[in-house]
Structure 1
Amino acid sequence: MKKWIIAALIILPLIEFWGIMQVSSWLGGWQTFGLIVLFSMAGAYLTLAEGRKVWTEAQLQLQQGQIPGRKLLEGLCVLAGGLLLLIPGFFTDLIGITFLLPFTRSFYQQIMLHWLEKRIREGSFSIRKF
Structure 2
Amino acid sequence: MKVFQIALLFLLVVPFVEIYLLLQVGGIIGAVPTIFLVVLTAVLGAWLLKQQGLATLQRFQSSLAQGTLPAYEMVEGPILLVGGALLLTPGFITDIMGFACLIPQLRRKIAQYVIENHLIQAGGPFQPARSAEKDALEGEYHKED
User: Same fold per TM (> 0.5)?
Assistant: yes
Partner of 1:61: 63
Greater Rg by CA: 2
Identity of aligned residues (%): 32
| Separation in structure 2 between the aligned mates of residue 88 and residue 10 of structure 1, nearest angstrom | 15
Count of residues in correspondence between the two structures: 121
| Separation in structure 1 between the aligned mates of residue 6 and residue 96 of structure 2, nearest angstrom | 21
Which segments of structure 1 move beyond 3 Å, counting only runs of 4 or more? none
Q: Which has the higher contact order (CA 8 A, sep 6+)?
A: 1
Partner of 1:105: 107
Unaligned runs of 5+ in 2: 125-145
Partner of 1:41: 43
User: Which of residues 98, 116, 120 in structure 1 aligns to 2:119?
Assistant: 116
* Residue identity matched to 1:120: G
Shift of 1:22: 1.4
Shift of 1:118: 3.3
User: Which of residues 50, 71, 88 in structure 2 aligns to 1:86?
Assistant: 88
Structure with greater helix percent? 1
* Residue identity matched to 1:34: F
Please tell me the root mean square deviation across aligned C-alpha atoms, in Å.
1.6
Q: Deviations over 1:8-39 (max 9, x none)?
A: 22111111111111111111100000000000
Unaligned runs of 5+ in 1: 122-130
| Separation in structure 2 between the aligned mates of residue 61 and residue 107 of structure 1, nearest angstrom | 18
